[in-house]
Amino acid sequence: MDQKRSALVEGNRVRVQNAELKKWVTGKNGSGPAAREAKAASHRRAAQLLTELHEHRGAGRMRVVQVLACVRGLGEQRTNRLLIEMNCSPVRRLEELSHRQLAFLVERLQLEAVRVEAGR
């Protein structure tokens, strides 16, 4: 009976470890190689999208915060920090950004993508 119980406990432990390893490799828990690649790609897409949306007439009405909220792994604190660094209010629209503010934001997103890829 004791041997059967220890086999069940060991089986459960191995299953949990395998599930954690799978999450780490596939990036389901926000870390690991796949998650880093996905976050970096998300940052790059956001930088490209910001540039395109700023020039598009209808999309310029979107708020900067809405675009930044779509960036994977950016988070609310980093979003707020970016807005403070570029001296921009959360309710600011894309069309209201100056070219210097937009360039700063795009550059920061690209740097963040490089940082995420490096795993720091």
- The confidence score (pLDDT) of residue 26 equals 52
CATH of the domain at 64: 1.10.8.50
In the structure encoding, which two tokens stand for residue 38, read together?
């996905």
**Cut 0.85: pTM above it:** no
> How do residues 52-107 score in pLDDT, each as one tens digit?
766 665 556 667 777 777 776 777 888 888 888 888 887 787 777 777 888 888 88
In this structure, are residues 47 and 109 in contact, taking their beta carbons and an 8 Å threshold?
yes
Q: Which residues pair with 63 in a beta bridge?
A: 93
Q: What percent of the chain has pLDDT over 70?
A: 73
- Between the alpha carbon of residue 81 and those of residues 25, 32, 34, 100, 117, the distances in Å are 30, 25, 26, 17, 21
Burial of 34 (0-12, 13-18, 19+ CB in 10 A): middle
Query: Rounded to the nearest 10 degrees, how much is the dihedral formed by the CA atoms of 33, 39, 20, 22?
Result: -60
Label residue 24 by pLDDT band (50, 70, 90). Answer: low
Q: Is 10 a member of any domain?
A: no
Q: Is 50 a member of any domain?
A: yes
How many domains is the chain built from? 1
**How far is residue 35's CA from residue 44's CA, in Å, rounded to a whole number?**
14
Domain of residue 48 covers 32-118
Q: Is 40 a member of any domain?
A: yes
5-14, 42-51, 53-62: which has the minimum mean pLDDT?
53-62
Q: Is 47 a member of any domain?
A: yes
Q: Considering the chain, what is the average pLDDT of its residues?
A: 74
**How far is residue 76's CA from residue 64's CA, in Å, rounded to a whole number?**
13
- The confidence score (pLDDT) of residue 113 equals 81
**Which residues, in sequence order, are CB contacts of 88 under 8 Å at separation 6+?**
64, 97, 101
Q: Is 24 a member of any domain?
A: no
Three-class secondary structure of residue 63 per DSSP: strand
